Structure 1
């Protein structure tokens, strides 16, 4: 049996965006030697709406069978196309309770969530990304609907507001092995003359851009990500406060504005 370095779980609502989410996740898993599990929660209120107990039981059994067939079909298709196994599980219940239980029991190394075109943080009223941030201290991979992480040598990795020591750890080092380009570091600070390339970064094969902190900072960052063809951006989310902490202390705008896959690294007490 193959030994994997990382345990990855995809939390999914089985909507249309799942296809691109799985493609990006499979690429990530192949680059870092990770195993993938898929987990789906169906709200009980969406299944049981009858007062009769027997009818409710029949509805639940029917829904389980339907979910089994649907998820198995999806998993089999992607496993075959990518030559990589995907395990799966599902349940009916309270979304947040079931996800919290899964995290506690399965202890994944990386959690995957798909970004939406609509406002992220009112996901059917569940505010799921913030909930996972509160429940989980490890890395969270946020896939993008339109920009898929591809498994090839064109990977261009970026880091937002993180130093090299804290950013290039664990599986990020594995990702860099698949990139022929230097790490690109983006910082947002109160320095007036920006953006500029930090000359010190050249000593460590890293390109660094520094932006002035203002109302357009995140949009300017988004433009530079596009210009520099960044395919994956890592955002450090730590408990340590710093002079560049303002952008990471409220990351909802970052996630909503940036059109690239994101990896939110490390423990955080931040809010969206």
Structure 2
């Protein structure tokens, strides 16, 4: 087990799905690459467990469910800990899922929140729109894991970024991921053709960047997703601080793009 002080705190939101299992495995691999610690957080509404009028019966049902869920999650965690030589902590909470998640994120202030993604759908973490809620309401970097169950490698990963620059808030984690400067970061953007063109910068060596520009239009996101896939980008980053396209590339289009991509997407705060 690695005992040195961790640089990053990774919080994995888990249900008991294969998608969230893949997200946890990806989180562990990422943590090993950037010197991070991993915490698992699971939330369930008491109403999903205790549908009894008798308070004692309801409490017993909650206790039994907690034991069952904890047993399943700990079995998975112990297997990963043994294989990867890491320590993973776990917290199970009962209550309103959205509020519990927001309170948890506000309390521990993780550097990265990680969620899984099911085939053709963002992870339904207890509520259908929980991922959208996290994207909208939580001030954290958010990683939406890829669709499959592969153990994604984050070693010298091929990075793509939406926009014209990496702001300082997201530059450190990108720099820790991007150790091989021979392979450039690819910048993708969709711009209004009436706006003047601007150069792409990374606040580092400009040789580090290659730019792809698309014009706004009905098929802009499809073209963007196709190019991201075609360039073998392995992780796509979307800074929340957009510039000229802030009004066009909002939360709804970020969600649409996540649906269209089969790779992990990192939303930078």
Q: State if a TM-score over 0.5 links the two structures.
A: yes
Q: Is the 8 A contact 2:166 2:239 kept in 1?
A: no
Instruction: Name the structure 1 match of 2:155.
Output: 152
Distance (whole Å) between structure 1 residues aligned to residue 15 and residue 200 of structure 2 = 45
Q: Is the 8 A contact 2:19 2:123 kept in 1?
A: no
Q: 1:57 to 1:47 in 2, by over 3 A?
A: same
Instruction: Name the structure 2 match of 1:108.
Output: 110
Q: 1:179 to 1:60 in 2, by over 3 A?
A: farther
Is there any run of 5+ residues in structure 2 with no aligned partner, and where? none
Instruction: Name the structure 2 match of 1:82.
Output: 84
Per-residue CA distance 1:129-176 (angstroms, 9 max, x = gap) = 2221233222111101226531434x1001011414558612111011
Instruction: Name the structure 1 match of 2:258.
Output: 255
**1:88 Cα shift?**
0.8
Instruction: Name the structure 2 match of 1:189.
Output: 191
SS of equivalent to 1:56: helix
Instruction: Name the structure 1 match of 2:226.
Output: 223
Q: 1:130 to 1:200 in 2, by over 3 A?
A: closer
Alignment of 1:1-272 (within 5 A): 1-120=3-122, 125-146=127-148, 149-153=152-156, 155-166=157-168, 169-177=171-179, 180-191=182-193, 203-238=206-241, 241-243=243-245, 245-250=247-252, 251-266=254-269
Is there any run of 5+ residues in structure 1 with no aligned partner, and where? 193-197, 267-272
**1:121 Cα shift?**
8.4
Q: Is the 8 A contact 1:121 1:130 kept in 2?
A: no
TM-score in terms of structure 2 length: 0.86
Q: 1:90 to 1:162 in 2, by over 3 A?
A: farther
Q: Is the 8 A contact 2:159 2:234 kept in 1?
A: yes
SS of equivalent to 1:169: helix
TM-score in terms of structure 1 length: 0.85
Q: Is the 8 A contact 2:143 2:266 kept in 1?
A: yes
Q: Is the 8 A contact 1:156 1:183 kept in 2?
A: yes
Equivalent residue pairs, number: 259
**1:86 Cα shift?**
0.9
